[in-house]
Chains A and B, each alone.
Chain A
Amino acid sequence: MYQQLAWILTVVLVFALAVVFLTIARKTARRVDYQPIQEKGYRIRKYWFISLVSVMVIATFFSLRDLPYHDATAAAATGAKVVNVEGYQFYWKLSQEEFYVGEPVQFNVTSMDVNHGFGLYDENMQLLAQTQAMPGYTNVVDFTFTKPGKYQILCLEYCSVGHHVMVKEIVVKEKGGASDGQN
């Protein structure tokens, strides 16, 4: 969802910007006194500034309500399955590799050598969640799978020449074991 939103917003806003710049660029031939332009321009600028700040405040308000950062209390309340994830050049080691739909999972991610990036991808290779895997630190990602299937963990932080082979497949099944991940 966020990827789609980011794409649409960017295309629309950059196009709108291009229209503004092109419009102004076409209105340069006739010279008029600068003073009235400045006075009017500064008046418009106030509203432009207020509009931008308002959009930013609203975006901040709504986006900060959905932070991906670990909430230890919430995780404990839901009885999340704790999975230890270790990154190595160039593979992932997970304490568990099978999961169930609807089951909250707490990935405790670290690295045993250099920086890696833990990127969780669905069957359509869409990125669902991520965190950095760092030596000496454990970053926690909470995630609940909503569909069964084969998921991939890709390395998203450059870790040297085998970076692109650092892929791990995990399986998510329907609760009760009905699904083998093919549906």
Chain B
Amino acid sequence: MAKTETTYPISRATKKGVVGHLAVAATVLILMMAFGIIMLFNQGGLITISPDLFYSIMTVHGIGMVGMASLGGAAIMWYFLCKYVPLNPKVLMTNLVLSVIGIAMILIAAFVFKFSDAWTFLYPLPSVSAKQHGMAGAMFFLNGVLFVGVGFLIMYLEIGRKIAKQYGGLMNGLGWDMLFGKSDKHYGPPAAVVASTMVVICNSTAILAGATVIIMSIINILNPSIVFDALLAKHLTYAFGHIFANATIYMAVVGVYEILAKYADRPWKANKVFLIAWNFSTLFTLMIYTHHLLMDFAVPKWMLLIGQIFSYANGLPVMVVTAYGALMIVYRSGLRWDMASGLMFLAMFGWVGGAVPAIIDATIVVNHVMHNTKWVPGHFHIYMGLGVTIMIIAFMYYYNKVEGNRRDHSWDRISAAFYTVFFLGLTGSFLYAGKISAPRRWAVHLPEWMLSDIVGGISACFVLAATISFTLRFFANVKYTRTANTTEEMVHDTTSLMKKSS
């Protein structure tokens, strides 16, 4: 028999940290959506802003959305993980403080010092821009990103250390003891632990790669005579950017495992297939950033082929295990849909739906005519907007239900329907623009590209309205003062709440 997992109460300090992360994430999300609408309407010719301002907004929108998703994902991961692994809530708060400082520095860089080198800040662009417009913007931006990265790295070190302590080594968090026959357990650690271990490994690597290229850029700005290899810098940039953005959903999916299993009253255990899938996800996520370099023909061909083949393979764990598991666990379960369960289920559709155009674009021959067109934001907006963001919103509703005894309102369901329909409109407009070869990151568009921009912009307005509604409902209902209960009590409370709402 497998030993029952020890669970720990969720402390008030943890709840404060979780709510803080969600509050900052929601606020940033609304601001970044508004920026997105401004960009689309400018491209569509409905409004006119200067290219300088457009590109500053574009820079903030990119880094802001990735930051938002990371903060929201961290909140979900931490909240559920600390039931199984005792974590220090001060570390969570440290991450929040450093992230807020970083966000402030990024906003100063963009709107005070007009930094506009995109969130990918491809070397040597920051150095060239610094020579033209002064180094303050680049320094504020790069150091701001560094602050955010340091906050997350500290958080991952805490999580990694505690998982290693609890399970006798970090890799046992991915079930290596069971997979390699060193344990007679039938199941690995809880899904939350498995996913968190994967994120710790991938994102710590990503942050170190990012910190390296940021420091290289800073050195080059301060002393232009010290130069670096542009292709190496690009590798490091995408090893950071791709993995960090990708890992947001691996943090947030912890909520899917926990919430759907609880609502369906069925176990979502880490069996061998589950563990193998997550081990491969770890490996693939670290490797496939090279699909961002498919059009860098100077990269060795074998590395580019890896970009295609392993990008395909990276779709398998989610399609065969996680999304498939979500379908299985709710099927004929007697589960009652509410905002938390419904949105978590929707998010699985968003994840797989976003993977489809992403995998197609990772095909080298397709990438040759679609890379850096609006097809690219098309696929990652599905993944981010209908996947990660929906998971975060679902968790907000779950949190208020569990911690604050709040119930859904019909307005919430209307907002969710609007969000879903119009988000599909927004992403459809991006993908269509990619099909007709509209380039991404162009402040000014040709007339033949403008219709898709206008459709996208109008759709985004409805998405923004729905998001404001979700956020206001969250802030209006949020509580973190409820005395810490045992997990068993919480489970009981949640179950009775679900019964009440049904």
Residue numbers of A with Cβ under 8 A of B are 2-7, 9-10, 13-14, 17-18, 20-21, 24-25, 27-32, 34, 37-38, 41, 45, 48-49, 52-53, 56, 59-60, 63-64, 66-70, 89, 113-115, 117, 119, 121, 125-132, 134-141, 154-164
Contact = CB atoms under 8 A, between A and B. Distances in A.
B24 interface: no
Given A52-B319, A160-B129, A3 B353 contact: no
A7 to B, nearest CB: 4
B365 A130 contact: no
Contact of A2 (B316, B320, B353, B365): B365
A135 B335 CA distance: 57
B338 interface: no
B370 interface: yes
A166 B146 CA distance: 31
Contacts of A7: 431-432, 435
Nearest to A29: B334
Given A21-B327, A28-B334, A125 B117 contact: no
B316 to A, nearest CB: 6
A130 B332 contact: no
Interface string B431-445: 110111101011110
Contacts of B434: 3, 6
26 contacts: A2-B370, A6-B370, A13-B356, A17-B352, A18-B353, A21-B346, A25-B337, A28-B333, A28-B335, A45-B324, A48-B319, A52-B315, A56-B312, A59-B312, A63-B366, A113-B128, A114-B125, A125-B448, A129-B368, A130-B371, A134-B296, A141-B297, A157-B122, A158-B118, A161-B116, A164-B442
B365 A17 contact: no
B370 A164 contact: no
Given A10-B431, A21-B346, A125-B446, 16 more contacts: A3-B370, A7-B432, A24-B331, A28-B334, A28-B335, A48-B324, A56-B312, A68-B365, A69-B304, A117-B372, A127-B369, A134-B231, A136-B231, A140-B297, A158-B118, A164-B443
B334 A30 contact: yes
Contacts of B364: 63-64, 67-68
Contact of A34 (B129, B333, B439): B333
A52 B431 CA distance: 23
B356 A10 contact: yes
Contacts, number: 213
Nearest to A166: B442
Contacts of B309: 60
B435 A52 contact: no
A27 B333 CA distance: 8
Contacts of A52: 315-316, 319-320
Contacts of B52: 161
A34 B333 CA distance: 8
A115 B117 contact: no
Nearest to B319: A52
B462 interface: no
Contacts of B327: 20-21, 24
Contacts of A156: 371-373, 439
A158 B368 contact: no
Contacts of A138: 298
Contacts of B165: none
Interface string B312-333: 1101100110001001101111
Contacts of B231: 134, 136-137
Contacts of B348: 21
A140 B298 CA distance: 8
Would you list the 10 A-B pairs with minimal beta carbon distance, nearest first? A31-B334, A127-B437, A139-B297, A156-B372, A164-B442, A7-B435, A137-B298, A68-B368, A41-B328, A56-B312
Contacts of B446: 125
B470 interface: no
Nearest to B428: A11
B230 A135 contact: yes
A114 B117 CA distance: 11
A24 B315 CA distance: 21
A124 B373 CA distance: 15
A30 B298 contact: no
Contact of A164 (B51, B122, B301, B335): B51
B152 interface: no
A163 B335 contact: no
B229 interface: yes
B345 interface: yes
A18 B360 contact: no
Contacts of B363: 59, 63
Nearest to A115: B122
Contacts of A162: 51
Given A113-B128, A127-B369, A27 B332 contact: yes
A31 B312 contact: no
A130 B116 contact: no
B20 interface: no
B295 A132 contact: yes
Contacts of B346: 21
B19 to A, nearest CB: 29
B201 interface: no
A73 to B, nearest CB: 14
Contacts of B431: 7, 10
A158 B334 contact: no
B266 interface: yes
A164 B449 CA distance: 13
B176 interface: no
Which has the most chain B C-beta neighbours within 10 Å: A117, A128, A139, A156? A156
Contacts of A67: 301, 364-365
Contacts of A14: 353, 356-357
Interface string B352-389: 11001100110111101111110100000000000000
B320 to A, nearest CB: 5
Contacts of B337: 25, 28
Contact of B373 (A49, A127, A137, A159): A127
B55 interface: yes
Contacts of A59: 312, 363
B221 to A, nearest CB: 13
Interface in B59-80: none
